[in-house]
A and B are shown apart, each in its own frame.
Chain A
Amino acid sequence: MEQYQKLMIIQKESTIMRNISGLLSWDMEVKMPKKGVNQRAEQLAMMSGLIHEKTTNPEIGNYLKEIQANQDFEKLGRNEKRNVELIQRNYDKATKIPKEFAQELTKHGVIATQSWKNAKEKADYSIFKKDLEKMIELIKKQANYFDPDKDPYDVLLDFFEHGFSKKVYDRIFEEAKEGLIPIIKSCVESPNQPNSSLILREVPTEIQRKIAFDIAKLVHYDLEGGRIDEAVHPFTGGYFDDVRITVKYYPNDFTSAFFAALHESGHGIYEQNYPQEFKYQPIADSPSSAMHEGQARFIENIIGRSDEFWEFYLPRFKKLTGKIFEDVGLRPFVHAMNQVIPSKIRIHADPVTYSMHIILRYEIEKDIFSDKITVDEIPVVWNQKMKDYLGMDIENDAEGCLQDTHWAWQYFGYFPTYALGSYYNAQFLPQLTKDIPNWRDEIRTGKIETIHNWLNINIRNKGCLLDPLDMIKDVTGKEFSAKYFIDNTREKYSRLYDF
């Protein structure tokens, strides 16, 4: 169908523009000199203007109409139809945002990110507050453009995870809270505590860098089509054959870069393993950011924090680190890796308490958008919830509400998706065990390939052919629920902590 081909050309061009934008952002975070920020803001704003122009071109609307009215429409393949559906969905989203507004948002994102960086450095929320306030106003306006009849926060939640809303999240998160708080309590109160000093030995950055590359390769992240750099806040950016990850090295806590390397590799591998024939089409994408996050956490937690993995990796790790860990035994070491310990910083949180960090952010975002709290009150509310959920005393904003870059970068309604990934994974596991009963034994021998292939076939190779909730059902045959995650967590940690 001629219109379909034309549509795909437009799609390809807008994808390339996004890739360009992605590179400019990567450079900004990783390589750009400090004072280049205003110029870069202009470039990003221009790209976002061009992308907006491209993706809102009324031509797209016309093609979509013609294609769907065409008598040959039914003859299109499944992939083609899905492409049309996704383009229609994105076109509806994009055409509701005026170009000038999109540019304003991007520009303000750059400015707010800069002031967030300053604020975080100086642990002073007041430096960031005004820009955050403006950002929230802009985001509300944005949500309103998408759907003036719907609750703005519901709009954002659905935007990042198709099919989700406050109603869904409230249910899942209540389920999670109820299941997790007792587990966390049991872990904290268990007499069988890990010795965390085992993993907190100083490891020089040079060695950590070697290890990061080693494990990235081990989990099948392709360095021929990627690279690993340092950034304040680890992230992954790129497309198919050029997908870059970043980590941050802390000499006195190697686990930060270690698990970031696994996590970002998980993201990177996802991008690197969409089918080549999907390239530049809408189906060359994940069903959602949560599914993406799930793949990252699969590599980080399910593989990287397992007994089986360390059974294989510890000897190699000892070799790479020289004498630093030579006296360490497997069980104590793995327990230390899986320590459940309430902490202040989300990205350093263990997989059990992590959900509480997300639930906290979800609740704050929800209340900001329903005007139950003000931007001024964020630090107070933040600190109170940290006390209530995790028993932590936040001493300054850098370790509190300034720790994440997301709000500066216009990501509201995005945090909740971070929790979903682990829930999705937990639901995949019974199926993986059914298909490959000895997958844990394979990890013991350092063989990640079978699992890698299973994830490729069941998840990554499907691109965005299915929406997340359908994908769950497609892979597992069951409806989505948080109960698998609770069960899985109880099983693993009761074993580690003896309760």
Chain B
Amino acid sequence: MVKITKEIDLYEKLLSKVKEIVILNNALGVLYWDMETYIPHGGIEQRSEELALIRGLLHEKQIDPEIGSLLQQIKEHDNFEKLSFAQKRNIYLIQKEYDQQTKIPKELVIAIAKQGAVGSDVWKKALIESNYDLFKPELIKIFELIKKYAEYLAPDKNPFDVLIDLSDPGFNQKILDKLFSELRDGLIPLITKCAESPNQPDYSLIERNCPVEIQEKMSEDIMELIKYDTNRGRIDKTVHPFTTGFYDDVRITTKYLENDFTSNYYSVLHEGGHALYEQNMPKEYKYEPIGFCCSGGFHESQSRYIENFIGRSREFLEYYFPRLKEITGEIFADVKLEDFIRAVNRVTPSKIRVEADPVTYSLHVILRYEIERDLFSGKLSFDDLPKVWNQKMKVYLGVDIKNDAEGVLQDIHWSEGEFGTFPSYAIGNIIDGQLHWKLEQEIPNWKDQIRKGDLTKIISWLFTNVHMKGNLFDPLDLVKEITGEELSTKYYLEYLKKEYTNFYNL
């Protein structure tokens, strides 16, 4: 370790400040997890006081002027250039976070929090009444506040670009316009073909009643198969599945539906994928900024890789279906493997994003991206929002939106001020396509291994190439680092075409 000064190591001092922030954030994570899982009804009010207090403490630590002054001293120091690549990356990330925390006036932070609370409340009402006009004034208010937020962060930049960069550093409208239009234009004909194919799967076999106790056995199985370490994690039930945690304590949740076991099955694979990423972050970077994932898109790529590229693959189902029959007794005894594979890979245009299959999902995301983009550029007015939403749904997915509840009002995100975060989901898919292309070259017999239920090599490939890289690179650089090529939709689209031509006999 290079000493920045003789007397005191400024770099270590800076990192110890960051460590405190990370630890406090971890504690906050436990409070949230408990609130979603085990808190008694009566405890919510006390909990909100606890959350507010910790957030306040965190904020104090994040804007601590000493961080700014340490950063400056380190950068101006003669020995700065001698710092390692990883150390410099830490400095870069700390500076970025510090700027973000300190550039925003406190009043704006409070205003956003307040409007977010009011807005999501009104949104709930509007959703129940299916009345966009009720929500519109609140939507406009939070939109203006978030725009201001982006302008404070980077006055010279396009506000929407700034917001995109927060979740997916390095991405911007120019990049996304290209990627997403390619993806959109590739997906629409594929989805149409699937929808029009006479060869439709029988989904009713998935909807056979499957008791929760049996599904819980499946969860255990899957966690073990994908090498999710339950000595460093646990699984619980929540209304909306999620993953939370850090290194040695990373917890997932799932949702059991008796009449659709795939809800749990794919949640465990998906959240398990997120959890593997967190559990496998490089130990030597623990409590450092580089000991985190580099972007929302990359995180989503890891959950989706396990869920879709592995969990929905013919080869994995060839292995797992007999096992599933064994666990479930009579329930699926008469079901043929081929019918099962086709059923879980059903492509069906739908109105609601969270219910969409992996193929149509990207279009739901692209639609939201395009709308946000056009709202920020002023091309689209808030008055026209539902109309445009419904038109796009018709063009992209061929569905007719009958009311705002099943259309523009379905997501909570905007009401809370989340703009620019939707793209991560689709970016994750695109990244997966390219990672998979590379993995196929490096592990030519990957299919045989999956057929045997042995995911060792595949998981360790992800481990070495993705997880272990922490946040050493911005996502676009990491893609290049791993695959040797710029991020492109080519591989993901090729993969989809191959898979679904097979499933649907196109």
Contacts and interface: CB of A to CB of B under 8 A. Distances in A.
B43 A225 contact: yes
A223 interface: yes
A33 to B, nearest CB: 5
Contacts of A31: 38, 234
Interface string A15-38: 011011001100100011111101
A240 B46 contact: yes
Contacts of A50: 57
Contact of B30 (A27, A35, A42, A242): A27
B53 interface: yes
B26 A39 contact: yes
Given A24-B30, A33-B232, A47-B27, A239 B38 contact: no
Nearest to B232: A35
Nearest to B287: A42
A224 B39 CA distance: 10
Interface in B29-53: 30-31, 34, 38-43, 45-47, 49-50, 53
B179 interface: no
A129 interface: no
B53 A33 contact: no
B42 A35 contact: no
Contacts of A226: 40, 42
Nearest to A45: B23
Contacts of B38: 31, 227, 229
Given A33-B234, A242-B40, A242-B42, A43 B49 contact: no
Interface in B1-41: 20, 23-24, 26-27, 30-31, 34, 38-41
Nearest to A222: B42
B54 interface: yes
Interface in B41-84: 41-43, 45-47, 49-50, 53-54, 57
A244 to B, nearest CB: 8
B246 interface: yes
A241 B45 contact: yes
B248 interface: yes
Given A35-B248, A227-B40, A241 B27 contact: no
Contact of B43 (A24, A36, A242): A242
Contact of A224 (B42, B229, B233, B249): B42
A40 interface: yes
Given A17-B53, A46-B20, A50-B57, A40 B41 contact: no
A39 B53 contact: no
B204 interface: no
A225 B41 contact: yes
Contacts of A33: 230-234, 248-249, 251
B232 A241 contact: no
A19 B50 CA distance: 8
B50 A223 contact: no
Contacts of A17: 53
A471 B298 CA distance: 61
A23 B49 contact: no
B249 A35 contact: yes
B230 to A, nearest CB: 7
B247 interface: yes
Contact of B249 (A13, A36, A46, A227): A36
A19 B231 contact: no
Interface in A441-461: none
Contacts of A32: 249
A361 to B, nearest CB: 33
Contacts of A227: 38, 40
A35 B231 contact: yes
A222 B40 CA distance: 10
Nearest to B245: A36
A283 B145 CA distance: 43
A43 B505 CA distance: 55
Interface string B213-235: 00000000000000001111110
Nearest to A16: B53
Nearest to B43: A242
Contacts of A42: 23, 26
Interface residues of B, number: 33
Nearest to B246: A39
Contacts of B234: 31, 33
Interface residues of A, number: 35
Given A23-B30, A32-B249, A224-B42, A46 B23 contact: yes
B30 A43 contact: yes
Contacts of A16: 49-50, 53
Contacts of B23: 42-43, 46
Nearest to A14: B53
A225 B40 contact: yes
A223 B249 contact: no
Interface in A436-484: none
Contacts of A34: 231-232
A241 B43 contact: yes
Interface in A210-234: 222-227, 229
Contact of B247 (A39, A46, A240): A39
B46 A24 contact: no
Nearest to B39: A242
A225 to B, nearest CB: 3
A241 B26 contact: no
Nearest to A44: B27
Given A13-B53, A43-B23, A50-B57, A224 B41 contact: yes
B248 A239 contact: no
A8 B370 CA distance: 51
Nearest to B233: A33
A31 B30 CA distance: 11
Interface in B358-395: none
Interface in A28-76: 31-36, 38-40, 42-43, 46-47, 50
A170 B499 CA distance: 81
B249 A39 contact: yes
A46 B46 contact: no
Which among B34, B39, B232, B249 has the highest number of chain A CB atoms within 10 Å? B249
Contacts of B233: 33
Contacts of B232: 33-36
Contacts of A20: 27, 31, 50, 53-54
A457 B341 CA distance: 66
B248 A242 contact: no
Interface in A358-386: none
B370 to A, nearest CB: 41
A239 B46 CA distance: 9
B27 A46 contact: yes
Contacts of A43: 23, 26-27, 30
A424 B486 CA distance: 76
B42 A241 contact: yes
B328 to A, nearest CB: 23
A31 B38 CA distance: 10
Contacts of A229: 38
Nearest to A241: B42
Given A35-B232, A223-B40, 15 more contacts: A13-B53, A16-B53, A20-B50, A20-B53, A34-B232, A39-B26, A43-B27, A43-B30, A46-B27, A225-B41, A227-B38, A227-B40, A238-B43, A242-B43, A242-B46
A-B pairs, top 3 by smallest CB distance, nearest first, are A242-B43, A36-B249, A225-B42
24 contacts: A13-B53, A19-B50, A20-B54, A23-B30, A24-B30, A27-B30, A31-B234, A32-B249, A33-B232, A33-B234, A35-B229, A35-B249, A39-B246, A39-B247, A39-B248, A42-B23, A43-B27, A43-B30, A225-B40, A226-B42, A238-B43, A239-B46, A241-B40, A242-B43
